[in-house]
Amino acid sequence: MNQLTLLAGGVVVGVAAWLGAAATPDNPQASVQLAMAQPDTRDRAITRPQLRPLPALSPDMIEQCMEVAREVDPVLADRLQRIRRDRSEQDFRWAMGSARHLVGLVALKEQNPQLYDVKVNELRLGARVDHLLQEIIAKRREGSMSAPELETQLERLVNEQVGYSLVARGLYLLRLKEHVKALRDELDHDLQPANLRAARQLRYQELLDRVEKAVGE
């Protein structure tokens, strides 16, 4: 076991112990807001010119995105479902364009469930941090210079969010290491004398075939 494996494993174990009772997919308090807009502007955000509509998705991919949205953010899922039901297909594509991270999460859920779970918790915590920060700002604007309970909650959430971020980075590094190993193994295979001769012969034959095709036209 090399240093990278030990590092990532240590990060996962150490941060998991540190987080303790951190947010989980079953924690109802972990519901998040749509990151690209405040709650009262989410529907209007689909017409913002700086956003781009998502290309047309297959019905199966849409359902998978909605499933992820329900897991990550029930409020977002409800709004997307309402837009999909009550408005035009183009409006729905604009809405999905503002939530295009769902497509990436669908792929991640299939390819790396462990990393997906970590990212879901990180996203939830990020939105909770943002929501709590808005509450603190509102308190300050009302004239209260201190909101100790909210600030204590904010510090705890930030600690948890940083922990999940470290876990995600460790898992990303492990996945990158596995990918690099696969590429190295493939290169070593192709550099074997017999495989190298076969590759050269195949390429040479492909070029001869192109010549024959061009002459025959």
pLDDT single digits (tens) 103-134: 888 988 888 889 999 998 988 888 788 888 88
Q: Are 46 and 98 in contact (CB under 8 A)?
A: yes
pLDDT band at 140 (very low <50, low <70, confident <90, very high): confident
- The pLDDT score that the predictor gives to residue 53 is 66
The answer as to whether 216 is a domain residue is: no
Whether the predicted pLDDT of 192 surpasses 70: yes
Global pTM exceeds 0.75: no
The answer as to whether 141 is a domain residue is: yes
- The pLDDT score that the predictor gives to residue 54 is 67
The answer as to whether 187 is a domain residue is: no
Q: Are 118 and 164 in contact (CB under 8 A)?
A: yes
- For residue 103, what are the contacts with CB-CB under 8 A and spacing of at least 6? 54, 57, 61, 65
pLDDT band at 52 (very low <50, low <70, confident <90, very high): low
The answer as to whether 194 is a domain residue is: no
The answer as to whether 31 is a domain residue is: yes
The answer as to whether 203 is a domain residue is: no
For the chain, what is the domain count?
A: 1
The answer as to whether 184 is a domain residue is: no
- The pLDDT score that the predictor gives to residue 51 is 54
- Residue range of the domain that includes 166: 3-175
The answer as to whether 33 is a domain residue is: yes
57 DSSP 8-state letter: -
**Residue 36 — φ and ψ, nearest 5°?**
-85, -5
Q: What percent of the chain has pLDDT over 70?
A: 74
